[in-house]
Structure formats: structure tokens, C-alpha cells
Structure 1
């Protein structure tokens, strides 16, 4: 009775992984190949918004200083290091703004990706995280994630 459930769950995980690899790699096969082979390579292409709000501009500076090392430039992710935050998984209806604050304060146990656990981040105030979150949300909106 549990065997069909396990098989269905395994198939869903495999399908989700395949979707991520192919949807985040871009349109040409060479990009997909590079993303898989090159450590630190961006995991998705990010369209930049035409203009950022003042809060998002401040958040970008904090993001670049603390988050980009793992989450990549413009939150595109880095192969083998950290997931893209410009991704449907992080849309507001699935990971609300409070999730970003909790992740910074407490760290995050790996659950959507195989990058390992995210440690708590030191030196960021709640205002810094609010700016970072605004920056990520504006990037998401520019990329059709609402």
C-alpha cells in the first residue's frame, strides 16, 4: 500500500529536478551544460527591473555584500553553492517575506535544494533584511514571479 506512494513521490521529485535544470538553464543546451558543469555558475538568467525602489537599492547593497556569495549576482543562484531566489519556489505565496527574516536569523535546513543547510547570517539588521527582501521581490516581479 505504501509502495505506490513512494514510487509516486520519487517520480515527482525526479520531475521537479528535471524541470529546475532545464527551466533555469536558459534556452540553449550549452548554457544547460555549463550550469551543470561549472561550479559557481549562475543557475538562472535574471532580467533586471528598469528601476529599483529606494528600499530595493539599499537592499541590493546588503545583498551584494552578504548574500551574493552563495545566491549569486542578482539572486540568480550559484551552481553548487546556493539556490536562485528569483525562482517560483520563493514567490510570496510560498515563502513570505517573514521567511527571509527567519532564514537570516536562524539559518535554514536544506529542503528544496541540495546545496546543504544555510547558516544564520551575522551582521544584518531587520531593516537590512527588509531591504534585501524588497530587492529580491522586485527582481522576482521583473521575471514574472508574483
Structure 2
């Protein structure tokens, strides 16, 4: 991927993220920015390399998902669960569940973080790449 393509993707994701946050109601205010060294809910071993698709997914995840699900999908206390967790292993939450979560939101059922609103502005290709990133993180942490 060229630098120009990467910058274009980051710009598109930033605009999509801004559109999402500005359409939320005051009761659904965005979480504060991630603090350096912020404690995560689980320890995540990050692979040395990701596939090209997962690298794209990582950029999308960092732009849209990390605000609640934490860096490297390790969860964020008070905001969102870790996706690198056995609850989200493919046999329990298939890839289709990620597509549905993005499209429809999720009612809280496994964790005490409240409901997840739908995530507007992500294409099917974006979600596919995010899933690739999360699945590669999961495999690196023994979740298959």
C-alpha cells in the first residue's frame, strides 16, 4: 500500500469517526481519549507481523473501535470489553456477529458496559478488515 493510499484511508476513517461521534446523543458522549499507559482489561500479545488485510483493519480499528474496545482490542475499563477474549472466539461469536454488531449495535449481555450503538460509516470491507485484525490478535493469544 502506498503512503498516499494509507493517508486517504486514515482521512476517510477519521471523517467517518467524527460523523459517528457528532450524531450521538449527549447521553452517548464519546469516551475520553486513550491515555498513554492506560490500564487495559486483558494483556494482549501483539504479533510481530499482520497480514495486509489485518494491517488495514488495525488502522480502521484504531480510528473507530479503540476508543471503547481499547488498544489492540484489550478492552477499556468503563467503556468496552476486550475482543481478545474467549467470549469472542469464532465458535461463539462468528464473523457474522461482528457485522451485525456494527450494523445494528448490541444490547449488553456478556459485560456490564452498557449497549453498543450501531457504528455508521464503516463499509463491509472495513468491517472485514477489522475482523481480520481481531482474529489475528486472537490467534496470537491462543483464541481460535
**TM-score greater than 0.5 by the shorter chain:** yes
Partner of 2:54: 56
In the alignment, structure 2 segments of 5+ residues that lack a partner are: 1-37
Distance in 2 (alpha carbons) for counterparts of 1:105 and 1:123: 10
CA-atom RMSD, angstroms? 0.8
- Give deviations 1:119-145, integer Å, cap 9, x for gaps: 000110000000000000000000000
- Give the structure-1-normalised TM-score: 0.72
In the alignment, structure 1 segments of 5+ residues that lack a partner are: 1-39
Q: Which has the higher contact order (CA 8 A, sep 6+)?
A: 2
Say which of 86, 95, 98 aligns to 2:96. 98
Partner of 1:107: 105
- Give deviations 1:47-74, integer Å, cap 9, x for gaps: 0012100000000000000000000000
**Segments ≥4 residues shifted beyond 4 Å:** none
Partner of 2:80: 82
Distance in 1 (alpha carbons) for counterparts of 2:61 and 2:72: 8
Distance in 2 (alpha carbons) for counterparts of 1:92 and 1:105: 19
In terms of fraction of residues, the more helix-rich structure is 1
> How many aligned residue pairs are there?
107
Distance in 1 (alpha carbons) for counterparts of 2:40 and 2:120: 25
